[in-house]
Chains A and B, each alone.
Chain A
Amino acid sequence: MEYPDKFNQGISQNKAVHVYFSQAIPLVSYIDDSCLRLKENKCDICSSVCKTGAIDFRQTPRKTDINVGAIILSSGITPFDPSVKDEYGYGKMQNVVTSMDYERLLSSTGPYEGEVLRISNKKHPKKIAWIQCVGSRRVTEGDNSYCSGVCCTYTQKQVILTKHHYEDAECTIFHNDIRSFGKDFERFFQRAEQLPGVEFIRSYASIEKEIPDSKNVVVRYATSDDGVKREEFDMVVLSVGLNPPAAYKEISEKFGIELNSHGFCKTDSTNPIKTNRPGVFVSGAFQGPTDIPESVFTASGASSQIGELLNYRRGKLAKERVYPIERDVSAEEPKIGVFVCHCGANISSVVNVPSTVDYALTLPNVVYATDQIFSCATNSAKEITDLAIEKGFNRVVIAACSPRTLEPLFRDTLREAGLNQYYLDMANIREQCSWVHAKQKEEATQKAQDIVRMSVARASQLEPLQEFDLPVNKAALVVGGGIGGMTCALSIARQGHEVHLVEKNKDLGGMARRLHSTLEGLDVQAYLNDVIRQVYQNPLIHVSHEATIKSVTGYLGNFTTILETEGRIKEIKHGASVLAIGADEYKPTEYLYGENDSVFTHLELGEEIAKGNQTVINAESLVMIQCVGCRNEDRNYCSRVCCSHAVKNALKLKKKNPEMQIYILFRDMRTYGFREDSYREASENDVRFIRYTPEDKPVVEAAKEGGKDIIRVTVPDPILGRRLELTADVLSLAAAVIPTESTNEIASHFKVTLSPDNFFKEAHVKLKPVEFATDGVFLCGTAHYPKHIPETINQAYGAAGRVLTLLSKDTVIASGSVAKVTECDCVSCGACITACAYDAIEFRDTPKGKKAFVNPILCKGDGLCNAKCPTNAISLKHFTDDALISQIDAAVTHEDIIEQMDAVLEEA
Chain B
Amino acid sequence: MCSGRVDLEFILRAFSNGQDGVFIGGCKLDECNYVTHGNYDALANTYLTKKILEHIGLNPERLRIKFMTGADGNLLAEYTDDFTNEIKELGPIGESEGMDENELKFKLEAVRKLVPYIKLVERQRLRVPFKSEEAYNKFFESSEVNRLFNELIVDKLAISQIMALLRERPLSAGEISEILGLNPSEVSRHLDVSARQGLVRFDKSQDLIVAA
Binding site for B on A (CB under 8 A): 404, 431, 436, 748, 751, 753-754, 773, 829, 831, 834-838, 860-864, 866-871, 876, 879, 881, 884-885, 888-889, 891-892, 897, 900-901, 904
Contacts and interface: CB of A to CB of B under 8 A. Distances in A.
A104 B37 CA distance: 42
Interface string B1-20: 11011111110011001110
Contacts of B92: 900, 904
B14 A837 contact: no
A862 B33 CA distance: 9
A891 B119 contact: no
B77 to A, nearest CB: 5
Contact of A879 (B5, B31, B34, B95): B5
Given A834-B123, A884-B10, A864 B38 contact: yes
Contacts of A837: 34-37
Interface in B137-154: none
A762 B148 CA distance: 43
Given A837-B36, A891-B14, A753 B31 contact: yes
A279 to B, nearest CB: 40
B64 to A, nearest CB: 16
B18 A892 contact: yes
Nearest to B70: A404
Interface of B: 1-2, 4-10, 13-14, 17-19, 31-38, 41, 45, 70, 73, 77, 92, 95, 101, 115-117, 119-120, 123
A866 B14 contact: no
A867 B36 contact: no
Given A831-B123, A869-B119, A892-B17, A864 B35 contact: no
Contacts, number: 98
B1 A861 contact: yes
A870 B119 contact: yes
A753 B39 CA distance: 15
A693 to B, nearest CB: 28
Contacts of A869: 119
Contacts of B34: 751, 837-838, 860, 862
A773 B123 contact: no
Contacts of B33: 753, 773
Of A751, A864, A881, A897, most B-chain CB atoms within 10 Å: A864
A743 to B, nearest CB: 14
A431 B119 CA distance: 34
Given A431-B73, A900-B92, A904-B95, A876 B5 contact: yes
A897 B16 CA distance: 11
Nearest to A871: B116
Contacts of B13: 885, 888-889
A889 B19 CA distance: 10
B88 to A, nearest CB: 14
A867 B117 contact: no
A870 B2 contact: no
Contacts of A868: 41, 119, 123
Contacts of B36: 835-838, 862, 864
B17 A881 contact: no
B116 A867 contact: no
A870 B116 contact: yes
A901 B32 contact: no
Nearest to B95: A904
Nearest to A404: B70
Contact of B117 (A861, A870, A876, A884): A870
A888 B32 contact: no
A889 B13 CA distance: 8
Contacts of A436: 73, 77
B2 A862 contact: yes
A862 B4 contact: yes
Given A862-B38, A864-B41, A867-B45, A901 B101 contact: yes
